[in-house]
Structures are given as C-alpha cells and as structure tokens.
Amino acid sequence: LVEGALLVIAVLFFILGNLRVALFVALSIPLSMLFAVTGMVRGGIGGNLLSLGAIDFGIIVDGSVVMAENIIRRFAEAQHAHGRVLTRKERFELAYDSAREVAVPVLSGVGIIMIVYLPILTLSGIERKMFVPMAQVVLLALTGSLIISFTFIPAMIAIFLKGEVKEAEGRAISFAKLSYEKSLNWALGHSKTVIGGAISILVVTVLLASTLGSEFVPSLDEQDLAVQSLRIPATSVSQSVKMQKEIEKSILKHPEIKTVFARIGTAEVATDPMPPGIADGYLMVKPRKEWPDPGKPKLTLIKEIEETLEQFPGNLYEFSQPIELRFNELISGVRSDVAVKIFGDDLKVLQDKAKGVESVLKQINGASDVKVEQSSGLSTLQINVNRETVARYGVSVSDVQDVVSLAVGGKEAGLFFEGDKRFEVVVRLPESLREELDVIRNLPVPLPPGENSRLISDKHNPEYDPKFVPLSLLAEIKLVEGLNQVSRENTKRRIVVQANVRGRDMGSFVEEASRKIDQEVQLPAGYWYMWGGQFESLERARARLMLVVPVSLLLIFIILFTTFNSIRDSLIIFSGVPFALTGGVIALLLRGIPFSISAGVGFIALSGVAVLNGVVMISFIRQLIENGRPVDVAVREGALVRLRPVLMTALVASLGFIPMALATSTGAEVQRPLATVVIGGIVSSTLLTLLVLPVLYQRFHRGDQTDGSSAECIGEVKQ
C-alpha cells in the first residue's frame, strides 16, 4: 500500500507540474482511508489481506485528479486572459465554476465505479466471506474520495494557490500531446480502419479468453507444508503413533525441514472427526536462505519428500499447506482441491464406481494425491447366534447378547459412595482380553437349571461345568471387514474421490476429467456424480456473477443515459467496457495467470475505470459543441484538452497496482491476478478512450453539424 501511494503521488506531481496541487490531491488518499477505516470500525468489518490489499489509491484519487486538473487549467486560462494574478474572490468563484463544470462527470464516473462493486455483495458461501469485506471497504473509500473531491480539493486550491498559476507541461507531456495529435488526426481520417481494427482485437480476445484456465482463488504460498497420512481404518492408536514417528524421522532428514509434529485422530470437534488411522502432520520449513539450494522450487521439495515416504507401506499421503488444508475442508468437507462426489443407494456400487473414477483421475496430467474416501475396511467382530442351538440349550438370544454386552461394553454392578459423591461401578473385561478373539469365543454363557443342562453333560470331561456353555457353541464368531463410514449429503448416500491439482489450472483439469469420466465410467440409473471442493465454490460464484453483473451493467447504462440524455453517447461511452476487458485478458495470458474470483474482481473494477475516462472526455466534447464548436473541431479539441486528465487517471490507477502485481511477499498470490487485470485493462482502456472514442463520436454525430458552421470554425482554427 505504501509503495502504491508513493507512486501515485510521484505521478501527480510529474503530470500536474504543481507541487502544492499534487499534495492536495495526495491528501485525499489518507482522508479517504480515514473515512473507510471509520466505516470499518462502525460496521464491524475486519481488516485483512483482501479487504485492505485490494484498494487502489489511483482509483481513489480519480475524482480528485479530474477536479484539480480542471481547476488549475481554468486558473491558468483566467490569469492569461487578465494578465495578472487572480484575487481571492476570483479564485473562489472560478474554483466553484470549475467544480460545477466537472461535477456531473466526476459524480457519474465515481458512482459507476461504485456500482460495479455491487455484484460482489451478492456472493454467497465462502466466497462471500472472502470478497464482500473487500467490496465494502472499496465502497467506503470511494464514498470518502467523492466527498473530498467536491469539498476539500476546490477549497484547498482556492485558498492556497495564490501566486501565478501555469499549466506547466513537462517534456514528457508535451511530447505525448504532440504524438497524440498526430495519431488522433490519422485515426479521425481512417475511421473505418480504426473501428474495424478495434472490433477485430475484441473478437480475437474473446477467442483467447476461452483458452484461459480457471480456479477459485490462487493458492497462497504458506511456506510450511501439511502432510496427511491415511492408514487402514482398523489401525490402533499405538500402531499409528509408531508409524508416524518413523515418518517424521525420515522427513527430518531433508535439510529444508526445521521441525515436524503431528496430530493423530481427534474427537473433540464434531465437525472434524478423525479416527486414529488419520494423522495430520505439519512440516515447518526453514527460511529459503538456509536451504542448501535457495532456488529449489517448492514442488521439487514436495516430490523429494514423497519419494522418501514411499518406503513406508500401509500409508496414503496427501500434501497440502496448514491453512489450505482446513480451508478446503471448510468449503465442502473435503481436504483436497477437487472432489468427485458419487451419489446412489448401494454402497457396493458406489465403491466400485469410485475405484473407476480414481483410475481415471490418476491418468490425467496434474492429478496428485488421488484417493477414495475410506468407506470400508474397518475390522468388525461379527457374532451370528445359531437360533436352533440356543433353543436346544434353553437359552434365549437376549441372554447371549447380555453376556457379550457385559464382557465388551460393561454393565453397572453397583454404586460406590465417597462422602457425598456417588460413583457407578461398571464391570467388564480388561482391554487386553477384550481384543483377544479366543477370549470372546470362550465367554461362558449361563444355562437355565433343569433338564436342558443334561444335554451338555460330558462323560469324557468330568470337570466341565454343566451350568455354563462357551459362546462358540452357541454362535459363529469371526472378524469381517465392515463399513468404516456411511456419508450422506442432502439425505443421499455418497462416496468421494479426492485429488489435488498441481502444475495446471483447476478449470481445465475438471473439464478434462469430466469428459473422461463420462466416457469410461458408466453409472447405473439413479446414480450421478458432481464436483466438489474449490471448483464447487468457483461454479457457484461464477453463476451468481453471470446473473448479477449484467444487471450492474444495465445500471451503468441507465446512469450514462440519465447523465447525457442520449442513447448514442451512452453507447459510445459504454463501448469502453468490452474494449477495456481485452487488455485484462491479454495481461492474464502474458503472465500465465488463470481466471479466478480475484481476477473477476479486477474485471469488475476495470469496468468502472473505463467508463470514467469516457465520461470525462465525452462531457467536455459535448460542452464544446454546446458552445458553438462543430463536431469535427470539438472532437479534436476536446480529445487534446482531455489528454492530460485521461493520462493522469490511467497512470495513477495502473501505477497504484504495480507493487501489488509484482509483489512476492505472503499473500501476493491473491492480489496478483486482480492487479494484473486492472493494469492490462487500463492500458487498453486508455488507448480506446484516446483513439477509438473520438472516432466513434465523430462518426455517429457527423450529421449533427452544418457545413457553414464547420467551415467557419475550421477557419478560426487555421488562423
């Protein structure tokens, strides 16, 4: 944020050429942020990486830039006309008139930027938790900047700009104006070529946009790693601890790892239960400067650790990051990036189809840590009572169940009193015996007295007690593989196949996987699958934005029509939106960044900035026409006069995002797509505003001028 603010201030001074005015405009940054922070405190909005990091000081000062530039230009013109320094009264009157002159474009322009953030407020789920605070903070900051641009900026300039005011244009601005004049004259003389070229670029960009990958949010580099070890469901706590210690010793042999610790099983949190067969291991990584090879990619380190862990049988591993692991689980209940949820009734069919999906995913490039949810594999002691045998011995099935329940589960045998305290006395077999199958087989089942007891007399075993019979004579006892868990979603049984995505974007991975699953895995009637994990959130957010963004664009058009009372002018300015998006798409392609919700927020912000520049230029051109200028001359003069404010708004907005686009610190991954889109889009938007917009205005308004007035004004320009 600090670097962006300094760059914005430098650009303001460089273009305005007046240190005091540049400082006045720069002061709108802390004042707007003060307004935003006050609103955050009052509204209970938390400050975090997204809510504060996505603020562009260049966009915040756009209204103040347009206001200040127009006031000092009018001051310089008035001083040149009077041949003297303006009096205090003249400064105040001129500042008031100048502010009124650009009030409508500033109000509508900044208002449009605020409107484009409204779709973000409609998001739901985890994406709402992430991005709504950002939109709220930006709206607060823009509201503050709008108030400051109408009050603080005109007042400060009128009060403190006492001396001679010159429109100081540096060499760079003079060179830019000279070059722009030549380009503008050529563009106005070749309108068909310019419009055709712009449309061609737009069509090509639409085709290129279809090749962009997609993901929910970019993966943050947390530095540290998380390794989840999955073992067979019947693994005991002691065995799991022993296996985990061996794993940790092998991981610590890597010089990049500082410490390793793990958590085995948990039952404290009902929303996140883990059996003893699952261990969450956390690998604390040393700072890169302490690595033997500081340039080693993180993926290479993960592959090396994976190769080390392959020597330990009986384990499945899933590599992630500590926060990312929990984040993925909170999104849809799975710890991986993506998940295939298969729904149906028969668990055996679900397991069979899940194995088929697993084999398909393993064949896809970029898939890692592919595994099926452990729905079976839990060792279960099964006791099947033989009803004919128990009837012959005069024993009921409930008697057999009571014996097993007493031995394994325990039964209250009495009460123990210690003062006022009362404790239940529960009798059952010790744990060491409960786990022995032979002990369970030989549990004595009491027989009722009477003739039935003679049925078990054993002449060959005189020590045999006819009052009891071993459980194995009354029931079949065996260990079988049973169900580990039965998962349901919306009351329907389901099984999950999980996978992490490495080295490619999530959208293309899911697209390829869906195509192959449909081809190779045939689901019976009544069975279906759907994608979960981060992709589920991406699709939900995309569907919501596809519905709300057009409504916001319609609101923008309504504001433009209300401002200009002309459908033609509104459409001309509105054409800046698609042409601005071309730069954002090309910037993402050049940097190899897939589309994400962060990039989508950048496109939303870009729409407002593109419209703002068009409003500023078209408003001035219309003023010139109302003052008697012919359309051709008004277009040329208006474009040249508005070159400086357009360049200023473009430079401050883009330079404010440059530190964010180039940052490599923690959290930069989330901000980078947003900044890249805005910078690329502002470049294309500026070119559109300076070249295509004047051409469109001249072409669609050429019939509005009379030949006489045109010739008269051209003669004035030549003189």
CA 135/CA 116 separation, integer angstroms: 10
Question: Are 292 and 494 within 8 A, CB to CB?
Answer: no
Residue 236 has pLDDT above 90, yes or no: no
CA 17/CA 14 separation, integer angstroms: 6
Q: Which of 652, 683, 580, 693 is nearest to 28 (CA)?
A: 652
Q: 477 - beta bridge partners?
A: 383
Please state the φ and ψ torsions of residue 344, each to the nearest 5 degrees: 175, -170
- Residue 527 confidence class, pLDDT cut points 50, 70, 90: very high
**Token pair 């403190």 in the structure block, residue:** 160
Find the helix packing angle between 597-626 and 693-701, rounded to 10°. Answer: 50
139 or 503, higher pLDDT: 139
664 or 35, higher pLDDT: 35
CA 70/CA 76 separation, integer angstroms: 10
Give burial (CB, 10 Å; 0-12/13-18/19+) of 532: buried
Q: 416 - beta bridge partners?
A: 423
Residue 155 has pLDDT above 90, yes or no: yes
Distance of CA 257 to CAs 119, 254, 260, 283, 322, Å? 44, 6, 8, 7, 15
Mean pLDDT, range 543-553, rounded to an integer:
81
- Among 228-232, 324-328, 697-701, which stretch is predicted with the lowest mean pLDDT? 324-328
What is the pLDDT, as a whole number, of residue 703?
Answer: 66
Strand locations in 545-687 (E): none
- The percent of the chain in helix, strand and coil, each rounded to the nearest 5, is 65, 15, 25
* Whole-number average pLDDT of the chain: 83
Domains in the chain: ranges and CATH: 2-217+554-718 (1.20.1640.10), 379-483 (3.30.2090.10)
What is the pLDDT, as a whole number, of residue 716?
Answer: 39
Mean pLDDT, range 66-84, rounded to an integer:
86
What is the pLDDT, as a whole number, of residue 3?
Answer: 66
CA 156/CA 72 separation, integer angstroms: 12
What is the pLDDT, as a whole number, of residue 707?
Answer: 44
CA 516/CA 364 separation, integer angstroms: 9
CA 36/CA 544 separation, integer angstroms: 27
DSSP letter assigned to residue 233? T
Q: Kind and range of the H or E element at 496? A: strand 492-501
Residues with Cβ within 8 Å of 366's Cβ and at least 6 positions away in sequence, in order, are 501, 502, 503, 504, 509
What is the pLDDT, as a whole number, of residue 84?
Answer: 84
Q: Which of 579, 578, 600 is nearest to 588 (CA)?
A: 600
Distance of CA 407 to CAs 411, 431, 475, 679, Å? 8, 10, 16, 73
- Residue 92 confidence class, pLDDT cut points 50, 70, 90: very high
pTM: 0.75
How many other C-beta atoms lie within 10 A of the C-beta of residue 518?
12
Determine the 3-state secondary structure of 156 from DSSP. helix
Mean pLDDT, range 75-93, rounded to an integer:
87
- What is the per-residue pLDDT across 333-385, written as a single tens digit (0 to 9) for each? 777 888 899 999 988 899 999 999 999 999 999 888 888 887 777 778 889 99
Residues with Cβ within 8 Å of 15's Cβ and at least 6 positions away in sequence, in order, are 170, 173, 644, 647, 648, 651
DSSP letter assigned to residue 544? H
**Which structure tokens are listed for 161?**
């700009």
Q: How far apart are the first and last CA of the chain?
A: 50
Give the percent of the chain with pLDDT over 90. Answer: 17
Query: Which stretches of 310-427 are DSSP H helices?
Result: 322-332, 347-362, 387-392, 397-404
Residue 705 has pLDDT above 60, yes or no: no
Determine the 3-state secondary structure of 390 from DSSP. helix
What is the pLDDT, as a whole number, of residue 486?
Answer: 83
- What is the per-residue pLDDT across 620-664, written as a single tens digit (0 to 9) for each? 888 888 888 888 888 898 888 888 778 877 787 777 778 778 877
Fill in the amino acid letter for 685. Answer: S
**Which structure tokens are listed for 323?**
């926060």
Distance of CA 609 to CAs 1, 107, 446, Å? 19, 13, 87
Question: Are 217 and 49 within 8 A, CB to CB?
Answer: no
Q: Kind and range of the H or E element at 372? A: strand 367-372
Question: Are 281 and 322 within 8 A, CB to CB?
Answer: no
Residue 714 has pLDDT above 90, yes or no: no
**Token pair 């737009």 in the structure block, residue:** 202
What is the pLDDT, as a whole number, of residue 204?
Answer: 92
Question: Are 439 and 429 within 8 A, CB to CB?
Answer: yes
CA 218/CA 591 separation, integer angstroms: 14
Give burial (CB, 10 Å; 0-12/13-18/19+) of 564: buried
Residue 151 has pLDDT above 70, yes or no: yes
Question: Are 653 and 66 within 8 A, CB to CB?
Answer: no
CA triple 141-142-146, angle to 5 deg: 120
**Which structure tokens are listed for 502?**
């490495």
Determine the 3-state secondary structure of 381 from DSSP. strand
Q: Which of 525, 524, 664, 676 is nearest to 600 (CA)?
A: 676
Residue 8 has pLDDT above 80, yes or no: no
Half-sphere exposure of 492 (CA within 13 A, CB side): 14
- Among 250-254, 591-595, 603-607, which stretch is predicted with the lowest mean pLDDT? 603-607
CA atoms 128, 130, 135, 136: torsion sign: positive
**Which structure tokens are listed for 251?**
């991981």
CA 501/CA 488 separation, integer angstroms: 25
Using left for φ > 0, alpha for ψ between -120 and 50, and beta otherwise, residue 503 falls in: left
- Name the most confidently modeled range: 95-109, 323-337, 605-619: 95-109
Determine the 3-state secondary structure of 317 from DSSP. strand
CA 344/CA 354 separation, integer angstroms: 11
Question: Are 548 and 122 within 8 A, CB to CB?
Answer: yes
Q: Kind and range of the H or E element at 318? A: strand 316-320
Q: Kind and range of the H or E element at 425? A: strand 421-427
Q: Which of 180, 13, 94 is nearest to 687 (CA)?
A: 180
Residue 451 has pLDDT above 90, yes or no: no
CA atoms 41, 45, 48, 51: torsion sign: negative
CA 309/CA 298 separation, integer angstroms: 17
- What is the per-residue pLDDT across 659-670, written as a single tens digit (0 to 9) for each? 778 877 766 777
CA 641/CA 622 separation, integer angstroms: 13
Mean pLDDT, range 61-87, rounded to an integer:
85
Determine the 3-state secondary structure of 66 from DSSP. helix
- Residue 282 confidence class, pLDDT cut points 50, 70, 90: very high
- Residue 93 confidence class, pLDDT cut points 50, 70, 90: very high
Question: Are 470 and 386 within 8 A, CB to CB?
Answer: no
What is the pLDDT, as a whole number, of residue 255?
Answer: 92
Q: Which of 639, 622, 633 is nearest to 718 (CA)?
A: 633
Residue 260 has pLDDT above 90, yes or no: yes
Question: Are 341 and 530 within 8 A, CB to CB?
Answer: yes
